[in-house]
Amino acid sequence: MGLLDGRNAVITGGAQGIGFEIAGVLGGAGASVVLGDINEQAAAEAADQLAKNGVAATSLRCDVTDEDEVAALVAHCTDTFGPVGVMVNNAGITRDATLRKMALADFRAVVDVHLTGAWNGTRYAAEAMRAHGQGGSIVNISSIAGKVGNFGQTNYSAAKAGLVGLTKASAKELAKASVRVNAVQPGLIRTAMTEAMPKAAWDAKLAEIPLGRAGEPAEVAQVVLFLASDLASYVTGAVVEVTGGRYM
Ligand SMILES: NC(=O)c1ccc[n+]([C@@H]2O[C@H](COP(=O)([O-])OP(=O)(O)OC[C@H]3O[C@@H](n4cnc5c(N)ncnc54)[C@H](O)[C@@H]3O)[C@@H](O)[C@H]2O)c1
């Protein structure tokens, strides 16, 4: 028996990195998975790879900033596998610059993808979960940047802190429908996003981590699995740090 047998999960930004790993771990626990990503080709290839590993998987091009595309993603889950039971708002981008150099367009783009995108995902998944009447679990991928603020990331830190407010407010609104909403704050995780970082910046971050190493995408995905599953049946509005103890 898998922890998510018979459930359907939608993961935004699921074509690569942490989102792809989450899809694999939830799929490995028995869920059917729907990958939504702005990179249509990569999402299709990712779904094929999951299917080769025995996971029921499908994909759809979805820009999370576009309300209609998010609605279509949730509907694609219903049409392909059945009603969504787990929604993971994971899609993300970075546009780093100091406050003096950052263009307003880069502030807006980052807030739009992370925060508006997760709001869209929460709204449409919650509507489908309510209609189905079996509850559900929504997991928002925030970041430790939303707790401490990162130099050169006023846009990203603001968006990731905003996700905490979104998580708690929607957890309060959706509790009576037995829909739980939680957030995960990963620290330094080894993905394409972080491997692009200059070595000196990587080493400086590493020095701050009590466990003495970067995390792997699977270590974030395992926490998402916990929050998605009935193991976390009494957990809502929580923010779980997955940082190796950094900034505890
Ligand atoms: N890597 C880390 O160390 C780390 C740490 C904390 C939080 N996070 C968060 O985890 C999430 C995943 O990060 P990652 O490192 O795997 O990044 P990544 O760049 O490897 O993957 C991000 C995915 O999101 C997709 N995407 C981008 N814009 C989109 C949009 N508008 N609509 C739909 N999909 C879109 C991309 O195509 C890509 O597939 C992000 O929210 C990120 O902020 C990452």
Element (H, E) at 8: strand 8-12
Q: Give the pLDDT score at 192.
A: 84
Q: How far is the CA of 156 from the centre of ligand 1 (A)?
A: 11
206 CA to centre of ligand 1 in angstroms: 20
Whole-angstrom Cα distance, residue 184 to residue 72? 25
On whether the CB atoms of residues 122 and 89 are closer than 8 A, the answer is: yes
Rg (CA), the chain: 17
Maximum pairwise Cα distance, the chain? 54
Pocket of ligand 1 (CB under 6 A): 12-13, 15-19, 37-39, 62-65, 90-93, 113, 141, 143, 186, 188-189, 191-194
The C-alpha atoms of residue 235 and residue 248 are separated, in whole angstroms, by 20
Atom 38 of ligand 1, nearest CA residue: 13
- Indicate the SS3 state at residue 214: coil
Token couple for 105: 């367009």
Instruction: Give the 3-state secondary structure of 105-159.
Output: HHHHHHHHHHHHHHHHHHHHHHHHHHHHCCCEEEEEECCCHHHHCCCCEHHHHHH
Give which of 187, 107, 172, 95 is closest to 141, Cα–Cα: 187
How many angstroms is it from 175 CA to the middle of ligand 1? 27
Give the CA dihedral 116, 118, 121, 127, nearest 10 degrees.
-90
Closest residue to atom 23 of ligand 1, CA basis: 13
Q: What is the distance in A from the centroid of ligand 1 to the CA of 114?
A: 9
Kindly give the confidence (pLDDT) of every residue in the chain, 248 residues in length, as a single tens digit, with 9 standing for 90 and above: 899 999 999 999 999 999 999 999 999 999 999 999 999 999 999 999 999 999 999 999 999 999 999 999 999 999 999 999 999 999 999 999 999 999 999 999 999 999 999 999 999 999 999 999 999 999 999 999 999 999 999 999 999 999 999 999 999 999 999 999 999 999 999 998 788 888 998 999 999 999 999 999 999 999 999 999 999 999 999 999 999 999 99
Q: What pLDDT score was predicted for residue 147?
A: 98
C-alpha 23/C-alpha 46 separation (Å) is 9
Which tokens go with 71?
């609605």
Q: Are the CB atoms for 56 and 49 separated by under 8 Å?
A: no
Cβ 238 vs Cβ 163: under 8 Å: no
User: What is the length of the chain?
Assistant: 248
The pLDDT value given to residue 77: 98
pLDDT at position 96 is: 95
Q: Which atom of ligand 1 is nearest to the CA of 189?
A: 3
Choose one of 18, 60, 66 to mutate for the ligand 1 pocket test, by most ligand atoms within 8 angstroms of C-beta. Answer: 18
Q: In the annotation, is 156 catalytic?
A: yes
With b for 16 or more beta-carbon neighbours within 10 A and e for fewer, the 158-194 pattern comes to bbbbbbbebbbebbeebeebebbbbbbbbbbbbbeeb
- Of all atoms in ligand 1, which is nearest to the CA of residue 42? 39
CA dist., res. 83 & res. 129, Å (int): 7
Catalytic residue selected from 124, 156, 234, 247: 156
